[in-house]
Amino acid sequence: MGILSFKSHLFKLSSLLFGNNNLLTSKTFLKSNLLSATYCSGNSLQVQENEHITLPKFLDVHLPNARQTLKLDPTWLRDHCRCPDCYNAVTYQRNNDILKLNEHSTISAHSQSDGLLHVLWCDGHKSIYSIPWLVSNTYEGRCQTQEEETSRIITWDGSMGNITNLEPILHRNALHDDNTLSEIYRRVIHYGFAKIEQVPSTEIDTKMIIERVCRMSRTVFGKFWETGTNFDHMDSGYLNGYLEAHTDNTYFTEAQGFLVFHCTHFNGRGGESFLVDGFHVAKQLKLFDPVAYDYLSKANITAEYIEPGEHFSSGGAILRHDPVSGQLEQIRFNMLDRAPLTSVPQPEVGTFYRHLRTMAMLVRQKENEYWFRLSPGTVMIIDNWRLLHGRNSYEGKRVLRGCYYSRSDFMSKARHYGIIS
């Protein structure tokens, strides 16, 4: 929500609170109550008007080595004061009162020097801001960062031509070296997966390396699972048939962000695994059929998972985008877990199935499938919001251990290691 629309919402809220429901008086009301963020005395800032309200003045911050200036709303600036009165640097939480923010957002004077912005407010409060901090913590700065991060995501097809020369990550290094851990995060964020080799096959070793990377997440499937030795859950993942490319947990309100596999025993035929880069497929779909891309970014599709005592159900678009940056954030693609299609009116279902088929066709393109064998000793971490996984049917015994990492937990660590912002 932009500042203007935010203020317009705030106005509506204030109208309700103060009983002012006469929209014709909104200009006066806003001027006297909500938009008191005017400057005390002369400066070079401009006032802009539209038909409803007077926009706040903006403070121009001159950026070193850049022609543009950063235009900052005084209310935003006051809200982002990081002095000890306004911000608790121990808990990383704000101390200011949202209801008093506006009356405190009048600037008396400001100056800029040595990479710092100094602001004196009308109530005598003083704020000092680091200009690089201001840049990286505004909408404008953040959009720039997200673009850079997105450009570092390396999509791939089944040939894996662009990522086959990666050095193997060894278990002993991952266990003891933080740089190796950071490299695991880098690979997962950039390529959608990472492998750790030479992991011993005992349960304790599997758990140790899994927990070394990130804390395990507890779901209906437990915290740590093993397939091939039990049939605890009513899911085709626990059986031995062919599994088409899919993402997990489309039926959760928030699908688990990452999954971890460790195949510890295989004695039989078949069972090869494959991955499809959903972001690569999305790129293809956008090029090949932009209307389908747009449709599948908006149409709601519900998935469900039922077992005795449980009934999970959740809806959302197959292609989910970040609401601020508009960047593709998540693929929700699981044809098996689809619930009855109640979200699309009958006259539209033809369109729905046509677009879904187009995407499914791209997912099934052999050229998009990266096939490999999960062999004992390899732990694999897979981005469940980006990659689709599947496997061949098999005969014999195949023991696969694993867990999920929640998106929040894994991304928190990725941020800690400086891989994302």
Residues that bind Zn ion (CB under 5 A): 81, 83, 85-86
CA 318 to chain centre: 15
Amino acid at 284: Q
> Cα 233 vs. chain centroid, distance in angstroms?
29
Q: Which does 303 bind (CB under 5 to 8 A by kind): Fe ion, Zn ion, none?
A: none
DSSP bridge pairs for 277: 387
Nearer to Zn ion by Cβ, of 85 and 177: the residue is: 85
Q: Mark out the alpha helices in 38-138 (DSSP H runs).
A: 74-79, 131-136
Q: Exposed (0-12), middle (13-18) or buried (19+): which is 255, by Cβ within 10 Å? A: buried
Which residue number, 24 or 89, has a Cβ lying nearer to Zn ion?
Answer: 89
Written as one letter, the residue type at 46 is: Q
Q: Which two tokens stand for residue 344?
A: 């699309």
Closest CB to Zn ion among residues 118, 269? 118
Shortest Cβ 105–Zn ion spacing (Å): 12
Closer to Zn ion by Cβ: residue 126 or 269: 126
Least distance from Zn ion to the Cβ atom of residue 168, Å: 50
| Partner that binds at residue 277, options Zn ion, Fe ion, none, CB closer than 5 to 8 Å by kind | none
* Shortest spacing between CB 393 and Fe ion, in angstroms: 15
Minimum distance, C-beta of residue 96 to Zn ion, in the bound complex (Å): 8
Find the shortest distance in angstroms from Cβ 95 to Zn ion: 8
Of 248 and 383, nearer to Fe ion (C-beta) is 248
Question: 136 burial class (0-12, 13-18, 19+ CB within 10 angstroms)?
Answer: middle
The answer to whether the CB of 216 falls within 8 A of the CB of 210 is yes
In angstroms, give the least distance from the CB of 73 to Zn ion.
16
Partner from Fe ion, Zn ion, none binding residue 86, C-beta < 5-8 Å depending on class: Zn ion
Residue 81 binds which of Fe ion, Zn ion, none (CB < 5-8 A, kind-dependent):
Zn ion
Q: In terms of Cα–Cα distance, which of 250, 248, 278 is closest to 261? A: 248
Q: What residues are paired with 404 via a beta bridge? A: 217, 259
**What x/- string results for residues 231 through 250 when contact with Fe ion is judged by CB under 5 A?**
------x----------x--
Contact residues: Fe ion, CB under 5 A: 237, 248
